[in-house]
């Protein structure tokens, strides 16, 4: 075993038996590199990454390649999910050098950590028009030894580029208004695939943040074209191979433009965001299809991705038995053997053929609607759905006998925040007690095992060990989760946690010129302090933080929150105008700023029928810019949540106060009056 054997990351542990003398990121590796005057080979990946596995099998498990790596370099292995700060810095370097990026990421650095060359996957033998990995190793080492001044200049130049003002595109003064949001929506629509849904061509990613923005813009404008873009995409995705037709949950992305062939890994963050998007789509359209997909995702998460302690696991691999997608695909003969007389239903419904649609096998997808399938099978839609339920149960049971993909069982604060927020909102909207129990357990796990007494978070937890300073995205996503838990339970401890986390962020992450760094001011010193402003597969930490600060401002009236949110978004004005596709979460935050938040203060016990009716009105429709607080007892004086200060029942009845910027309408006690006031405030 090498030095990775004591790590907690499943990805690093996968490499613990490599003949490569791997170091984890840390002082020891840099000390050795400086003492021996060796360049550093930094390899970054993650456990569910297919090409990471390919490069590991080809090169890191290959004795001659490992010998060359050990002789010429100090080798560092990093899990990008545990250390997004390192990944962000060096991925920016690779993209600057090569105009592309991805994982596995391979970066060559000076002994002090400054990069001077890099790329992604390198094959063991020359192919794809690429040199072999060993050729790259020898060429890089030769440059380091024989052209050292040139290498030093390249490293210095790249370090200066990495240190440049990442906000140079920002406008001097913010300029937010409804036309700006409308223009951004139209720019997104210009790239909308009207035949298959989604944006652009292959490969195709779900882009939940941008779809959420289009849904919000529809609510604000009533533009039906925007709603169609969202619902059409959601339907095409859920009928495609990117969706697990048997077990629920989405794969990472589609390699084609039609959502058929996915990269088969399943990531917690994708399913967290998409479950919430389908939930919101159901609230807007009341189409049962959207609710079914949302609930299937939640059920998958609770069944397969929830730790005994309550937190949520990170991912499952694309491969099983060394073959990508093997766990998920079927032959026609298999279906016939397992299903017997029901096989024609599965074959017709999922478009199964003898040839298959993926390497001789079939990825299950739904090429036709239920009415068409039922007509072809000469049965009613109701009978089709009934028999499909039986078919799915049989196939799911058969699939459990296969070798499952590897589970990455680390628990990440940021991704748990995304999932927890979605699950808590679903518990409130769908009135699912099982979802609420799971959400509260996850919240308690975060507060008990990944949070210090002073409100500091850890990034990662696995097998009893919480590790690594949390990043801005961890705090921002968990503030969202805590506020959603509060609105699902009205238990003050969740609101307190949100306030505590936000206080830590304001103290330790703020940048002097507005916005936030990704790392705290007492974080490990790296070659630059990262500050990523655009969305990736997960929302930008800055944008998510701005959105949550606006919500906290609505609860408290505290100008610190509002000022910090506005200062963050002000830096993004021009970037959002030019590249809205990269700033979906910032657009969602700006929507809250432009539209304004509606505050609803409730007085009464949630178990009382009258209060239950008021709460039902608040959860029936998707109200993206509403915050709700509740006190069970009259609050004639100051309250811990300022929005609840001086709120009392009306004539002994539960009451609702609808406010904007703490200016309130007359309190109401019946659902019709509350509905009217909410509509007037939106």
pLDDT at residue 164 tops 80 = no
pLDDT greater at residue 247 or residue 127 = 247
> What domains does the chain contain, in order, with CATH numbers?
10-162 (3.40.30.10), 178-319+408-595 (1.50.10.10), 328-401 (no CATH), 598-681 (3.40.30)
3-state DSSP assignment of residue 554: helix
User: What is the percentage of the chain residues whose pLDDT exceeds 90?
Assistant: 93
pLDDT greater at residue 661 or residue 290 = 290
Under 8 Å between Cβ of 234 and 278: yes
Q: Is residue 580 classed exposed, middle or buried when 0-12, 13-18 and 19+ CB atoms within 10 A define those classes?
A: buried
Q: 394 is written with which tokens?
A: 């049989």
How far, in Å, CA of 350 to CA of 361, rounded?
12
Q: 362 is written with which tokens?
A: 């079939």
User: Cβ contacts of residue 188 below 8 Å, gap of 6+?
Assistant: 199, 210, 213, 214, 229, 580, 581
Under 8 Å between Cβ of 118 and 108: yes
How far, in Å, CA of 411 to CA of 459, rounded?
8
pLDDT value of residue 498: 98
User: Cβ contacts of residue 303 below 8 Å, gap of 6+?
Assistant: none
pLDDT value of residue 537: 94
pLDDT value of residue 128: 76
Under 8 Å between Cβ of 283 and 620: yes
Residue from 65, 71, 50, 72 nearest 18 by CA: 65
pLDDT value of residue 173: 62
How far, in Å, CA of 651 to CA of 125, rounded?
81
pLDDT at residue 450 tops 80 = yes
pLDDT at residue 632 tops 70 = yes
pLDDT at residue 166 tops 90 = no
pLDDT at residue 373 tops 90 = yes
Question: What's the average model confidence in pLDDT over 590-612?
Answer: 96
pLDDT value of residue 650: 96
Compute the mean pLDDT over every residue in the chain, rounded to the nearest whole number.
95
Under 8 Å between Cβ of 526 and 89: yes
pLDDT greater at residue 173 or residue 30 = 30
pLDDT value of residue 340: 96
For residue range 64-81, list pLDDT tens digits in order.
999 999 999 999 999 999
């Amino acid at each position: 075993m090498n030095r990775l054997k004591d790590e907690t990351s499943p990805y690093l542990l996968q490499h613990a038996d490599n003949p490569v003398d791997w170091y984890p990121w840390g002082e020891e590796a840099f000390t050795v590199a400086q003492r021996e005057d060796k360049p550093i080979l930094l390899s970054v990946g993650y456990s569910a990454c297919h090409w990471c596995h390919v490069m590991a099998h080809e090169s890191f498990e290959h004795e001659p390649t490992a010998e060359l790596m050990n002789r010429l370099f100090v080798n560092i292995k990093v899990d990008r999910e545990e250390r997004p700060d390192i990944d962000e810095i060096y991925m920016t370097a690779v993209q600057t050098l090569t105009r592309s990026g991805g994982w596995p990421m391979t970066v060559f650095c000076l002994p002090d950590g400054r990069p001077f060359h890099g790329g992604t996957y390198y094959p063991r033998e020359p192919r794809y028009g690429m040199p072999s990995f060993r050729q790259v190793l020898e060429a890089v080492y030769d440059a380091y030894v024989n052209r050292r001044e040139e290498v030093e200049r390249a490293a210095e130049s790249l370090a200066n580029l990495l240190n440049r003002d990442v906000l140079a595109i920002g406008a001097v003064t913010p300029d937010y208004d409804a036309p700006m949001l409308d223009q951004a929506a139209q720019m997104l629509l210009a790239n909308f695939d009207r035949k298959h849904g989604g944006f652009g061509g292959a490969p195709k990613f779900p882009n939940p943040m941008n779809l959420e923005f289009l849904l919000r813009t529809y609510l604000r404008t009533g533009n039906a074209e925007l709603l169609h873009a969202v619902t059409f995409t959601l339907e095409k995705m859920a009928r495609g191979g990117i969706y697990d037709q048997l077990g629920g949950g989405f794969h990472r992305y589609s390699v084609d433009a039609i959502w058929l062939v996915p990269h088969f890994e399943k990531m917690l963050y994708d399913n967290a965001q998409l479950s919430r998007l389908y939930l919101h789509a159901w609230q807007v359209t009341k189409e049962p299809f959207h609710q079914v997909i949302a609930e299937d995702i939640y059920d998958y998460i609770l069944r397969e991705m929830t730790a005994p302690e309550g937190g949520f696991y990170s991912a499952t691999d694309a491969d099983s038995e060394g073959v990508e997608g093997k766990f998920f695909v079927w032959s026609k003969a298999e279906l016939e053997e397992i299903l017997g007389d029901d096989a024609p239903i599965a074959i017709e419904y999922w478009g199964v053929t003898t040839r298959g649609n993926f390497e001789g096998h079939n990825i299950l997808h739904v090429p036709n609607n239920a009415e068409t399938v039922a007509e072809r099978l000469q049965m009613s839609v109701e009978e089709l759905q009934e028999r499909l339920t039986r078919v799915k149960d049989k196939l799911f049971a058969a699939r459990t006998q296969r070798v499952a993909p590897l589970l990455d069982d680390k628990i990440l604060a940021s991704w748990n925040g995304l999932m927890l927020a979605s699950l808590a909102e679903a518990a409130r909207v769908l009135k699912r007690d099982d979802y609420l129990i799971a959400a509260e357990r996850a919240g308690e796990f975060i507060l008990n095992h990944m949070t210090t007494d002073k409100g500091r978070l850890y990034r990662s937890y696995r097998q009893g060990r919480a590790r690594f300073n949390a990043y801005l995205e961890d705090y921002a996503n968990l503030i969202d989760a805590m506020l959603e838990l509060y609105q699902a339970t009205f238990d003050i401890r969740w609101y307190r946690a949100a306030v505590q986390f936000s206080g830590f962020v304001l103290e330790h992450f703020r940048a002097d010129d507005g916005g936030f760094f990704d790392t705290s001011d007492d974080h490990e010193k790296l070659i630059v302090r990262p500050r990523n402003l655009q969305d990736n597969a997960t929302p930008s930490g800055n944008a998510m933080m701005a959105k949550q600060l606006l919500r906290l401002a609505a609860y408290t009236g505290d100008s610190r929150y509002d000022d910090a949110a506005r200062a963050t978004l002000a830096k993004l004005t021009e970037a959002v105008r030019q590249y809205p596709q990269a700033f979906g979460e910032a657009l969602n935050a700006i929507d809250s700023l432009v539209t304004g938040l509606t505050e609803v203060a409730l007085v009464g016990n949630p178990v009382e029928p009258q209060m239950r009716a008021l709460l039902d009105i608040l959860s029936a429709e998707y109200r993206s810019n509403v915050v709700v607080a509740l006190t069970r007892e009259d609050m004639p004086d100051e309250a811990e949540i300022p929005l609840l200060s001086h709120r009392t029942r009306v004539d002994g009845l539960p009451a609702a106060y609808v406010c904007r910027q703490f200016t309130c309408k007359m309190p109401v006690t019946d659902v019709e009056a509350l509905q009217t006031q909410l509509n007037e405030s939106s």
